Amino acid sequence: MSRTKAWFMAIITILTTVIFAAGLFKVAGTMMFIVGDLGISMTAAGMLMSANGIAATIISIPGSGIMQKIGPRRVILIALGVIFAGNVAGALTANYGMLLATRFIEGVGFGLMGMAAPPIISALFPPEKRGLPMGIWTLWVSFGSMFILNVSNYITPNYGWRGNWWLVAVLAAVFFVIFALTVRLPEGDKATEQAALEDIAKPKESLSKVLMTPGPWCLAIGFFAFSIANGAYAAFYPVYLQDSLGMDPAAANSVSSIANITMIIGGILTGFVLTRIPNKKHSALYLGVWIIFTLVSVVQFNMPAVGMVIPFMMIYGIICQSIPPILLNLAPEAAATPAMLPIAMGVIMFGQSLGGILTNIICGRFVDIFGSWGALAIPIGICCAIATIAAGLMIPIMKKKYDTAPSDLRKNVVTIEK
């Protein structure tokens, strides 16, 4: 397969996943309107975000079995159909209970997409070329959130909050056709052998060993805390800017999206840094980024003045988006063996999904109880502190792995790094 064709299909895949992110975060840009229209509490509104994570967690195990049978491409198409149905149903609902149910439906599609997109990108590129496209894919949340927060400034005043649901439904239908017609996985060549699904050979033999391997669990803790801290920003920051700092809804959405722009910069910069630093030192970089991210996450809901929000958003975006590329880059080495990588990724993504489930429940509850957005520093700070400790543990774990690796494997690693 030519490089141009591979990149074309990778871009289509990335754009398709952006639709899922827009569907997830459309609640954040319209939360105040939903609360007023349906007369619900902030905790209930937070559940509209958490429902996606709950459904994604539930579908993860059966979804992996489905993907083994029909392949990641068809799973993406099924996920697009589910997202379309969930958004149409959500746009037509008139009460909170039904809206919450449709968010669970959307979560099924979200969970299926999260499993299927990385194997597709992996199948399109040889190992030494996957870093950049995979790094760009990690920005799908930033792209989707930035898109929907700004578009909702026009959609909501003219068509109500339900207009955003119709928009995502239309985009899902359009990209169903585009994806079905353009994305084809390579067959009969080395690219197929390099696909991420190739390692799912003996899950029963690998499961117990992976579950006793500390590396994936340390990374899962990191993804859990990241989901809590960044999820609180994604779900509640526009509301915080309106409620605490007096911004109007349009300005709050636009200012919040600044971080999504700088996340793109942070993700790309991190990708280049990872290619310049030897793999065995990535764990130290991971710890350093977590220390900084903990500090900025604790203060994000305690801005003393409106004038500090924009500079903070710029810094926050760069630091925030540095974590996923480093974490996912450590994942293959955290697994005990290459054959165990799929299960290790399952453990890591379980941490992310669990954080997504609890983020809005915990954060919404803290705001309701304390009556202050600043109280979010407590749960966010605790989670990030634990994740920082787990990041520190990755240093001896990775050192031991490299010290005990066979000499030929170490030579291969050095060659790849060069």
Give the tens place of pLDDT for each residue, 88-129. Answer: 999 998 889 999 999 999 999 988 887 788 778 777 877 566
* Helix 282-299, helix 309-320: angle, nearest 10: 150
Q: Are residues 182 and 301 in the same domain?
A: no
Structural domains of the chain, count: 2
pLDDT in the model for residue 153: 85
Q: If we measure between CA atoms, which residue out of 21, 14, 5 comes closest to residue 182?
A: 5
Q: Are residues 185 and 222 in the same domain?
A: no
Q: Are residues 293 and 321 in the same domain?
A: yes
Instruction: Decide which of 142, 175, 200 is a domain's last residue.
Output: 200
Q: Are residues 224 and 130 in the same domain?
A: no
Number of helical H runs and strand E runs in the chain:
17, 0
Q: Are residues 214 and 147 in the same domain?
A: no
Instruction: Decide which of 200, 228, 260 is a domain's last residue.
Output: 200
Contact 149, 256 (CB under 8 A): yes
Report d(CA 113, CA 61) in Å as an integer. 13
Find where tokens 């746009």 sit. 91
pLDDT in the model for residue 118: 76
Identify which has the larger pLDDT, 166 or 279: 166
pLDDT in the model for residue 414: 43
Report d(CA 114, CA 349) in Å as an integer. 9
Find where tokens 């026009």 sit. 154
Q: If we measure between CA atoms, which residue out of 284, 271, 293 comes closest to residue 225?
A: 293
Contact 387, 220 (CB under 8 A): no
Q: Are residues 173 and 274 in the same domain?
A: no
Please check the confidence at residue 199 and state whether its pLDDT lies above 60: no
Please check the confidence at residue 163 and state whether its pLDDT lies above 90: yes
Q: If we measure between CA atoms, which residue out of 348, 376, 372 comes closest to residue 362?
A: 376
Report d(CA 344, CA 332) in Å as an integer. 8
pLDDT in the model for residue 201: 43
Contact 304, 114 (CB under 8 A): no
Q: Are residues 395 and 298 in the same domain?
A: yes
Domain holding 412, by residue range, is: 201-418
* CATH code of the domain in which 346 resides: 1.20.1250.20
DSSP 312-367: HHHHHHHHHTTHHHHHHHHHHHHSSSGGGHHHHHHHHHHHHHHHHHHHHHHHHHHH
Q: Are residues 294 and 396 in the same domain?
A: yes
Give the tens place of pLDDT for each residue, 350-373. Answer: 788 788 778 877 887 888 888 888
Report d(CA 7, CA 14) in Å as an integer. 10
Q: Are residues 154 and 174 in the same domain?
A: yes
Q: Are residues 136 and 190 in the same domain?
A: yes
Q: Are residues 8 and 94 in the same domain?
A: yes
**What amino acid is encoded at 37 in this protein?**
D
Report d(CA 85, CA 101) in Å as an integer. 12
Instruction: Decide which of 200, 233, 259 is a domain's last residue.
Output: 200
Q: Are residues 129 and 146 in the same domain?
A: yes
The pTM of the full predicted model, rounded to 2 decimals, is 0.69
CA atoms within 13 A on the CB side of 21: 23
